[in-house]
Amino acid sequence: MTLEDVGRLPSVDSSGISVSSLDESHIGLVNQTWKFGKDDVAVGLIRNMIANFPSCCVLDAEGKPVSWILTYPSCAFGMLYTLPEHRRKGYAKILVSSLAKRNHSLGYPVYCCIEEENAASYRLFANLGFTEDPSYREAWFRVNEFQIFQ
């Protein structure tokens, strides 16, 4: 889904909410909650994304992320996640809007790839003005790794 006009994003009230960027200390948290995470390959990808591309997170009173979104090396938004006890507070809307504005200001395209069965994310992005591009599909695959023993 793409967002052609960042200026048309609905306004979101983020007053009283601490929005920041992720840092290296958050890699483990993102990895353990990401559907495709939990291994060294994922840790490397997440580390690269946090170190080199824009991210946004909502911090709790102790300064720990409770909701976050990252930018893939392809510039697509991804890994949007909110801890279950913090859902239904509008954090995802705040983060998508913040990251869309930030990425646009950096000259990055503003788009995301959503799994076809993820209706909640599709609704969120559609409600924020993102539109589907039916001509574009992205596929993820991983070739089996092997070790050479000598």
Q: Domain limits at 62? A: 6-127
State pTM to two decimals: 0.88
Beta strands per DSSP E along 1-150: 18-20, 55-59, 65-71, 77-82
**What are the pLDDT digits (tens) for 34-90?**
998 888 889 999 999 999 999 999 999 999 999 999 999 999 999 999 999 999 999
On whether residue 77 sits in a domain, the answer given is yes
Question: What is the number of other CB atoms lying within 10 angstroms of the CB of residue 43?
Answer: 15
On whether residue 142 sits in a domain, the answer given is no
Q: According to the model, what pLDDT value does residue 8 have?
A: 87
On whether residue 71 sits in a domain, the answer given is yes
On whether residue 147 sits in a domain, the answer given is no
CATH of the domain at 56: 3.40.630.30
**What six digits make up the tokens of 44?**
């490397």
Q: Number of folded domains in the chain? A: 1
On whether residue 132 sits in a domain, the answer given is no
On whether residue 79 sits in a domain, the answer given is yes
The gap from C-alpha 93 to its chain's centroid, in whole angstroms, comes to: 11
Q: What end-to-end distance do the CA atoms of the chain give, in Å? A: 47
**What are the pLDDT digits (tens) for 98-112?**
999 999 999 999 999
* Strand-by-strand arrangement of the 55-59 sheet: 18-20, 55-59, 65-71, 77-82
On whether residue 101 sits in a domain, the answer given is yes
